[in-house]
Every structure is written in C-alpha cells, then in structure tokens.
Chains A and B, each alone.
Chain A
Amino acid sequence: MQEKPTTDQSLFAAIKAGRHELLDELYTQHRAAFLTYAQRQLYATEDDAADCFQDAVIAFYKNIVSGRLTELTCGIRTYLFAIGKRLVYRKNERRHRERPVDPDAGIGLGNDPADELDLSLLNRFEDDHRKVLLAAALGKLGETCQQILTLFYYHHYPIESIQETLKLSSPGATRIKKMRCLDKLKLILTPQS
C-alpha cells in the first residue's frame, strides 16, 4: 500500500504522478471549510456549495494532469477555493441570486490563483443532449478499451504506465491496443456510410 502524502507539495506531486485516487483525500480535507465559506460568504446553499466544490476538485486535477499547472504557487486550498468561488458565482448568476456578477474579478486577497488555471474546462460540466451522447459512447467499448483510452487521453499516463497498470504484455502491444480502441470509438462516434 502506498503512503498518503501529508503536505500540499507531496500531495500535488503524487497526483501529478498519476495517483488520482488521492482526489478523495483532497476533497475530504478541504470540503467542510469550503462549504462553510461558500454558504456564509457567497450565499450558496449547502448542495450548491458541495456541487461546486466537486467540480473545483475535478478542474484542479485536470489542470495538473494536462500540464497547465506545473507547480504550486500557493496552498492547494487556495486554488480550490478560487475555482469553487467562481463556480458558485456562475451558479448564483444563473439563479439570479443576491450577487449577479463576480464582484472580485481581477482583485482579491492577493493574486487570484485561479488566473493560472484554464477555467474553460469548467464549461465541460454543463449538460446538453450532444454531450450526453458523447459521454455514452465510451461505455459502448469493452472494459480494457475504456481503461486504456481514459488512462492515456484523460489521466495522461505514459504508454509504459498503462501497460504496467493493466498488466498488458509490452508497450508495443499496448500502443497497438490503444490505436484499435480509438478506432472503435471513432467508429461509434462517426459511423462510416
């Protein structure tokens, strides 16, 4: 069993190295503080606050694995709060609650760490029919194919790590398998006439 990282830096390094199971740790560690903050300061309901915090953790993770966030310039909590705050503002804006706009866009308790991140990723959480269809396509593949494609394209694992994780015979075989799985997915998404 791998050790649990105890500091922000070690947690960040472990997530960057592929230990995405540590997102649960991250969530549990900062959730209560964010819920209190969002309810008191941002007028969020408890459900909205929890929902936004979940999305904040995912957006933070995606910024790490995609290489957009290469090093921590402040505490993890500060990043999560900055992203979560923007998500709450968006939610409030949609519901025409007390604060229609982000009042501290561009200002804050120092530089807003969310500025370092790619927040266009947040748009991915919005549902529409086309996205539902897209998301369902992956589920039509076999389990191994789903794992290979997800590990490679989403979690940014190198081929060698995928081979090791899924106990495939060699990196070459993993590469070929990945290629075939991708072709199958493309076929589901754009059936040839």
Chain B
Amino acid sequence: MNKETQQERIDRYLLGRAEREERLELEEEVTRNAALSEQLAETELALAAIELAEDRALKARLQGLEAKLVATGTATADTPATAPAPKVVRMKPRAKSRRNLFAIAATLLLLLAVGWWALQPKGMGDPGQLAMASFEPYDNIAYQIERGGTEVEPAAAAFIAYEEKDYATAATAFAALPATAVNKFYLGQSELAQGNFAAAAAQFRDLHNADEFNLAQESAYFLALAHLGEGKIEAARKALEVIAGEDGHPMQDKAQTLLTKL
C-alpha cells in the first residue's frame, strides 16, 4: 500500500469516518507495522496543531465580536453599555443669609420627620406590598422559544406569555401543562407576579424540598415571599432566616435584604 493510500486510511480513522472493521484492522496493523505507526503518530500531532491553531482563530474571532458588541452598546440585557454621561450643572451663587434660612428650615423639617417616625407604631407596612416590592420574576432559563413557526406548542405559548409579562395568560397555560417541577415553578412565578400569594405558595411548597430540581433553593425563597404576601409573617421570617444563613445560597443576599425590612 503506498503512502497516499495509508494517509487516507489514517485520515478516515482520525476523523471518525472509518467503519468499525476498518478501525480494528488499522489498530491491529499499527502494532506490527512501524512505518504505519509512525505515520499515524505524526498525523495525530499535525491534527492537534491544526485544531489548536483553529481553536485560537475562532476564539479570537468571537472575542473581536464580543468587543464590538460591547462597544456598540449591546452589552448585556440588564446593564446598558452606554450610560448617559453625567452633566455638570453650574451652581448659582446665593446670598449667605438665604442659605442660613434654608438650613434652619431643613433642620425643622428633619426634626418634624424624626418626631413623626418616633410616634409611629414599629413594624413594616403592608406585607403584600412588601412581598410584591421584593419580587422579581425569574428569567426563563428552562425553555428555548423557537419563533417563526406557524403552530405554537402549549409549552412555548406558556413561556411566550411569561416572557411578555402576560402573567394571567401564562398562569393558565402553565396550569394546563403536565405538572413537572419546571412548569410548577413558572406557574408559581406567574401567580406571584399577579399577587396570587396562596396559589403561588401551593406551587413552591412542593418544590423547595425537591432534591433533584435545580431551582429548589430559589423555590424556597419564593415560597417565603408567597407566605409574606399571605400575611404569614413568622413563617416567612423563619424561611428567610434559613436562606440568609446559608452560605452559597443563590438567594442569600435577597433574603438578608428582605429580613432587614421585616
């Protein structure tokens, strides 16, 4: 067999195009043919060099694209790359006497505010309002929506409504889907977003102890929020304390912040 033919065999073998029989045959031949064994080793090394070089070329291309995206302001969905530049506003010079008057008025106002606060009964405001103020619907990380088709699957319809913040439609759609952990989680989110705390709690209650559910820890936090909304303040506080005390819990910071408001 000439060198070219041997090289084609080796190429087919290394590129995964050889059938099982052909592979076994080559592997066996390599053990007793030193020249073929050397040719195979050299080709493997060459392939490694090509792969590394092209990996780097592709990486450089994507890094360039990333730099361009950041520069053109399509950075992340949450953090716009181009924040408005701060403006320097010239201050008007004011007479010293007027400034003193303002200072006295401000002090009086502050004293009044402190006095009013001191006379108020201690505690938070409406728990439902606090729960809603602390709630941010969880991103859709579970379902890839494919747009452009004529027929929309029920799961896609639910997530489309969810992403469009049409939570009433989303809740109805999720409720009609099989009660998997993911569907229950997003149903809970949709209920919570509408202020339906009891309905939300019913969903998260099953999830926060589910060992094999990726969002179990998040579910514990949302259950605490739902309890808060229901007015079960002690239950919410206890759950939040557990979360806040657990290092590495994805909702630890949020739980700590909410506890300070309770």
Query: With the chains together, A156 CA to B142 CA distance in Å?
Result: 32
Q: Which 7 A-B pairs have the closest CB atoms?
A: A75-B144, A135-B52, A138-B53, A54-B62, A77-B144, A134-B49, A154-B54
Closest A residue by C-beta to B142 = A109
A182-B69 CB under 8 A given contacts A81-B141, A98-B248, A153-B15? no
B interface residue numbers (CB < 8 A to A): 4, 7, 11, 15-16, 42-43, 45-56, 58-59, 61-63, 65-66, 69, 74-79, 139, 141-146, 148-149, 181-182, 212-215, 247-248, 250
Looking at chain A's contact residues, is the secondary structure mostly helix, strand, loop, or mixed? helix
User: Would A125 and B55 count as touching, CB distance under 8 A?
Assistant: yes
A54-B59 CB under 8 A given contacts A7-B149, A124-B52, A135-B49? yes
User: Would B77 and A33 count as touching, CB distance under 8 A?
Assistant: yes
Residue A58, interface by CB 8 Å: yes
User: Would B141 and A190 count as touching, CB distance under 8 A?
Assistant: no
How many A-B contacts are there with CB distance less than 8 Å? 142
Taking the closest CB of chain A, its distance from the CB of B11, in whole angstroms, is 8
Taking the closest CB of chain A, its distance from the CB of B4, in whole angstroms, is 6
A side interface size, CB within 8 A: 63
Residue A142, interface by CB 8 Å: no
Closest A residue by C-beta to B41 = A190
Which of A40, A77, A138 is B49 in contact with, Cβ under 8 Å?
A138
Taking the closest CB of chain A, its distance from the CB of B39, in whole angstroms, is 9
Residue A15, interface by CB 8 Å: no
Taking the closest CB of chain B, its distance from the CB of A174, in whole angstroms, is 13
User: Would A189 and B45 count as touching, CB distance under 8 A?
Assistant: yes
Can you list 27 A-B pairs, Cβ within 8 angstroms, ordered by A?
A: A8-B146, A23-B58, A27-B65, A27-B66, A35-B77, A37-B139, A40-B139, A46-B76, A54-B59, A58-B58, A67-B16, A75-B145, A75-B146, A78-B144, A109-B181, A131-B52, A136-B53, A137-B53, A138-B53, A139-B53, A150-B54, A152-B11, A153-B46, A154-B51, A175-B4, A189-B46, A190-B45
Hey, which chain B residues are within 8 Å of A179, CB to CB? 4, 7
Hey, which chain B residues are within 8 Å of A1, CB to CB? none
A interface residue numbers (CB < 8 A to B): 6-8, 20, 23-24, 27-28, 31-33, 35-37, 39-41, 46, 50, 54-55, 57-58, 61, 66-67, 74-78, 81, 98-99, 104, 107-110, 124-125, 131, 134-139, 146, 149-150, 152-156, 175, 179, 182, 185-186, 189-190
- Can you add 9 more A-B contacts, CB < 8 Å, to A109-B142, A109-B181, A134-B45? A27-B62, A28-B69, A58-B62, A75-B146, A138-B50, A150-B50, A150-B53, A153-B51, A182-B46
